[in-house]
């Protein structure tokens, strides 16, 4: 088993692939914009993919304005400005309840661009954490994707035994929010 490489200043705490992931929490936080500046708005987005098209178009998306049809993926907390205490946005993914026709779930973070172009370099103290129960699977500060407007932060894949496997890693994108949701699940290119 190989170990996961840290992404930028953040770090992945998982060695190799973890098997049997059942229910995970993805949490995101950032500091509010300085006084007099437009608010910074980050959003967690999850995309599900069918077993017949694991790298095709998402079957459905879950974000601040959309829910999963079966209640297995929920955005529990949403912030538009980073002014919360602790984690500003929290999403729960009950992978063990997800229908067998889904083979892959990709989770990302996108920066809203309403007040002009913003990258992770413009966000004050961003951080993301993925955990199962009390076990932290991965943490990152987006340091490896400072010039990006969005990033995927976690991938969950159903293996041959129907268990969910976690694949950590932060991958940057230079897309607007709508386009990001359509390309975030594409296969990685070396």
Q: What is the pLDDT of residues 111-128, one digit of tens each?
A: 999 888 999 999 999 999
pLDDT of residue 77: 84
Average pLDDT over residues 127-132: 97
Q: What CATH code would you report for 38-183?
A: 2.60.60.30
DSSP character at residue 86: S
Q: What is the radius of gyration, based on Cα positions, of the chain?
A: 16
Q: What is the pLDDT of residue 86?
A: 84
User: What pTM did the predictor assign?
Assistant: 0.87
Give pLDDT tens digits for 143-160: 999 999 999 999 999 998
Q: Would you say 155 and 21 are in contact if contact means Cβ atoms under 8 Å apart?
A: no
Each domain of the chain, given as residue ranges in start order, spans: 38-183
What is the band of 129 on the pLDDT scale with cuts at 50, 70, 90?
Answer: very high
Q: How many residues does the chain have?
A: 190
Distance of CA 33 to the CA centre of its chain: 22
């Amino acid at each position: 088993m190989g170990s996961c490489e840290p992404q930028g200043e953040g770090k992945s705490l998982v060695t190799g692939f973890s098997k049997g992931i059942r229910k995970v929490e993805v949490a995101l936080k950032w500091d509010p914009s300085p006084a007099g500046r437009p608010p910074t708005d980050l959003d967690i987005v999850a995309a599900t993919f069918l077993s017949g098209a694991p790298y095709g178009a998402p079957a459905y998306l879950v974000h601040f304005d959309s829910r999963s049809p079966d209640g297995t993926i929920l955005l529990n907390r949403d912030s538009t400005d980073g002014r919360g205490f602790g984690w500003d946005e929290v999403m729960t993914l009950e992978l063990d309840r997800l229908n067998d026709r889904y083979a892959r779930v990709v989770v990302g973070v996108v920066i809203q661009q309403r007040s002009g172009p913003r990258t992770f370099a413009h966000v004050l103290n961003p951080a993301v954490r993925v955990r199962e129960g009390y076990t932290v699977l991965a943490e990152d500060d987006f340091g490896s994707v400072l010039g990006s407007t969005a990033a995927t932060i976690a991938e969950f894949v159903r293996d041959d035994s129907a268990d969910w496997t976690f694949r950590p890693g932060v991958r940057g994108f230079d897309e607007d929010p709508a386009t990001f949701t359509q390309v975030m699940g594409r296969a990685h290119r070396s």
